[in-house]
Chains A and B, each alone.
Chain A
Amino acid sequence: MENTLLVGLSRQVALSRELDVVANNLANMNTTGYKADGSLFEEYLSSKARAAPTDSRVSFVQDRGVWHDMSQGALDRTGNPLDLAIDGKGYLVVQTPAGQRYTRNGALKTDATGQLVTSEGYPVLGDNGPIVFQQTDHQVQISRDGTISVREGASNADAARGHLRVVTFANPQQLQKYGSSSFTAIQGAQPQPAQDAGIIQGSIEQSNVRSVVEMSRMIEITRSYTQVAGILQQQGDMGQQSIDKLADIPN
C-alpha cells in the first residue's frame, strides 16, 4: 500500500519539476535568442516491492533530463546595424572570464574602446580575437558570411574589421545552458566552423518558446497533478477505512 503513495509521490515530484521548466520557458518568452527546454522522464523499476509475490516490481517515474529545443526562432527586424540574427545552425562565440560561451543572442553593442560586445559587455570573437572598431568608423556592414566592413573617416572605400566566428556542434544537446542567453560546451564537444549558417544584419532572433504549447503543457501538468492527488486520497481513505473496520471490536 505504501508503494502506491510512493509511486504517486514520484509522479508529483516529476510534475512539479516539469512545471519549473515550463515556468522558465514562459518567463523567457521575450528573451532574445532563448531556446525552449523540454523535460524527459523515464521509468524507474524497483525490485524492492513488498507483499507482492506475483509482481515484485514497482515502476516509479523519474525525471531524467531537460533537452533544449534548438529550432530557429522568429526573426524580428529592428534595423539596428549591430543587431545580428543567425539563420541556420550556428552560435556566436563570446569570451567571458570563465571561458568561451556560445550564444544566439545577437543584440550586440560596442564598448568604450570600440570593441564589439554583448549586452553584458563580453567581447564577441572574430577569427582573430575580439573585433575592434576605430573612432571614426561608421556605416557598419556585416555580410551574410560574417565579414564586417566599415567606412573609416571620409574614405569612400570599405575597410575590413574582421570576420565573425560562427561555430556549430555535432550534437547541440552537448551544450549546457549558462544563463545570459548563452551556452557552455561540455568537455569533448568541439566547436566546428558553421557551414550553413548565415548572419542577418538588422534583425534579432526571438525566443523559440511556443506559448500555446507551453500553456497546454501547463494545463496537462496541473490536471495530472490533481489526478495523482486523487489516487493518493483514495489510498488514504482505504487505509482509514481498513483501520476503522478492523479495529471495530464487536461487542
Chain B
Amino acid sequence: MRGPRLVVNLVLLVVAVLFVAPLLWLLTASFDAHGGLSAQVPGKFTLSNFGHILTWDIGGRPLLNGLFISGGAAIIVIVVAVLAAYPLSRYQLRFRRPFLYTILFTTGLPVTAIMVPVYGLFVRLGLVDSLWGTTVFLAATALPMAIWMCKNFMDGIPVSLEEAAWVDGASSMQALRSIVLPLMAPGVAVVGIFTFIQAWGNFFVPFVLLLDPAKTPASVNIYSFFGQNGLVAYGQLAAYSILYTAPVLGLYLVVSRWLGGGFSMAGAVKA
C-alpha cells in the first residue's frame, strides 16, 4: 500500500505548493522598497510600504467602513435567512420548489447588471450615500444563497426534537430559538462568513451607492493604488492587500477554531 499512498501525499503537496505560489508575491513585494511583479527576496527590505498605508485615511477608516458594511450584512443575512428557512424546511409549502429555484437562478446575474435601477431606487428611498442602505442592499443580494444553505442545514435537524418541545408547550419560534438554532450554529457560522467574504470583496456596489469618500470601504479604496493611468505602486498595493485580507482571514480562522477545528459545509449542500 506504500505506492499509492506516496502518490496521494505527493499530489497533495504539489497542490499545496501551487496554491501558495501566487501568494508569495504579496509577502515579498510588501516589504520591498522597489517591489516588482515577481516574488523575489526584497532587494531593499523596508517597512515604509506599510507605514504609508497604515494611516487613518488610507488604511484605518476604509477598513472600519468595510467591517461595518460586511459585518452588518452578515448579521442581517443570518437573522433573515434562518427565519425564512424555517417555514421552507418545516412546512409543506406548494411554492417551496419554485421559490427556492427562482431565488437561486438570480445568483447567476452579476450585481453590476442591476445597479442602474438600484441607484434610482435608492435615490427615491433617500438611501444614497448611506452606509446602512449599502449594508441592507448587500444583505439582500446575499439572501438567495443564504436561504438555500440555511434551509439545507435545517433539514438536517430532525423535527422530532422540536416536537418534544412543542409537547412541553413551547411555540414554534421558541423551539426554533432554543433547540434548532444551537444545533445549526456551525451552519449559521458558515452562512455568516460566506456573506462577510462576499460583501468584503464587493467593489461596485459601495462605489455606486456611496458618495462621500469618508464612507467608502477598503474594497473601493484599494483601486486608488492603481493611479490615474493605471500606474501602480506595487509594494504599497501588496502591503494594502495584506492589510485588506487580514480581517477576513482572521475571521475565518476564529470561526473555524470556534467550530472545533473544522470549517464544515456538512449539511449545507444536500438537496
| Real binding pair | no
B residues at A contact (CB < 8 Å): none
A residues at B contact (CB < 8 Å): none
